[in-house]
Structure 1
Amino acid sequence: MNDLPETTEAQVRARQLGRAKVMAWLLGGFVILVFAISIVKIKMGLHG
């Protein structure tokens, strides 16, 4: 009835680790983007 192969716990953990790494990179990129925008806005406010 179920033709899908069973996934082992190691495969599940590997998939979770991959997702966690992607989320970490995305979150880090978002933090850097917000920081850069803040710096630009501060500099524009000081010289504007």
Structure 2
Amino acid sequence: MHHLNQDELKERLEMENQAAEFSLDLICHEEKEELKKKSVRMP
């Protein structure tokens, strides 16, 4: 089994954090769009 050194671990963590933030942004954006549609429908 290959043991990651500290630098590799940090890099991997940062990449995963960025990916998580990116998908969170996407989810937030989609939810905002849904809210907009709902509020437009309401009189």
Q: Report the TM-score when normalising by structure 1.
A: 0.69
Give the aligned length. Answer: 40
Q: Aligned to 1:28, which of 23, 26, 29?
A: 23
Identity within the alignment, %: 12
User: Match for 2:22: what amino acid?
Assistant: L
- Normalized against structure 2, the TM-score is what? 0.75
Q: CA deviation at 1:10?
A: 3.3
Larger of the two Rg values belongs to structure: 1
Counterparts in 2 of 1:1-48, with a 5 A limit?
10-48=5-43
Q: Aligned partners of 1:44 and 1:11: how far apart in 2?
A: 49
Gaps of 5+ in 2: none
Question: Which runs of 5 or more residues in structure 1 are unaligned?
Answer: 1-8
In 2: Cα distance, 1:36 partner to 1:14 partner = 33
Backbone CA RMSD of aligned residues: 1.6
The runs of at least 4 consecutive aligned structure 1 residues that moved more than 4 Å come to none
